[in-house]
Amino acid sequence: MAAAAEPTAARSAGRRADEALDTGEISHVVGYLLAIASVTTREHYHASVGRPFDLRPVEFTLLMLLRGNPGASPKQLGRALRMPAPNVTALLDRMVARGLVERRRSATDGRALEVRLTADGEATAQRTHEISLSMEDPLLERFTPGERVLLRELLLRLGPGAAA
C-alpha cells in the first residue's frame, strides 16, 4: 500500500503552496468540469442578480418558471426544479412571505393549487430576466456564437432524460 502512495508523495514534495495542482487525474469527469464551471457562473449570477435582488439561484429559477408558466402547480414546479414536495413548500413559503408569489385555488378545480407571480414578483422577474440575458457575456465572450449555441445544446442533453 505504501508503494502506491510514493509516486504521489514524490510529485508533491517539491510543489509550492501557491502552485496550481495537476488536475489530469480528474479532468475526464464531466461532473468535476461542470462543478468548476459552476463556481464561475454562480459568481456572475450572485454579482448580477443574487445580491442585488436578494435571490438564491433556485428562487430566481422559480420566478423565471412562473413568468413563463403562470398558474403552475407546486407539483409541476417540483418536477421542473428536481425538488421534493416538502422543499417546494418551503421555497414557496419563503417567496410568499417576500410578496413575490401567491398560491391560489384553481378556478376550474377547487382542490388544485396554482402558483402565480404577484405584481412585485412580476416586476422582479422582469428586471432579473433582463439582467440575465447578458450577465454571462463576460464568460462567453471567449466562444464564437456557434460555440455558445453548441455549449447550450450539449448542456441541455445532460439534463432531463439523460441516460442514468
Domains in the chain and their CATH numbers? 51-152 (1.10.10.10)
Q: List the chain residues with pLDDT less than 50.
A: none
Task: Give residue 34's pLDDT.
Answer: 94
Task: Give residue 112's pLDDT.
Answer: 87
Strand partners, 55: none
**What's the chain look like in SS3?**
CHHHHHHHHHHHHCCCCCCCCCCCCCCCCHHHHHHHHHHHHHHHHHHHHHHHHCCCHHHHHHHHHHHHCCCECHHHHHHHHCCCHHHHHHHHHHHHHCCCEEEEECCCCCCCEEEEECHHHHHHHHHHHHHHCCCCHHHHCCCCHHHHHHHHHHHHHCCCCCCC
What pTM, to 2 d.p., does this model score? 0.82
Task: Give residue 5's pLDDT.
Answer: 52
Residue with cell 432524460: 161
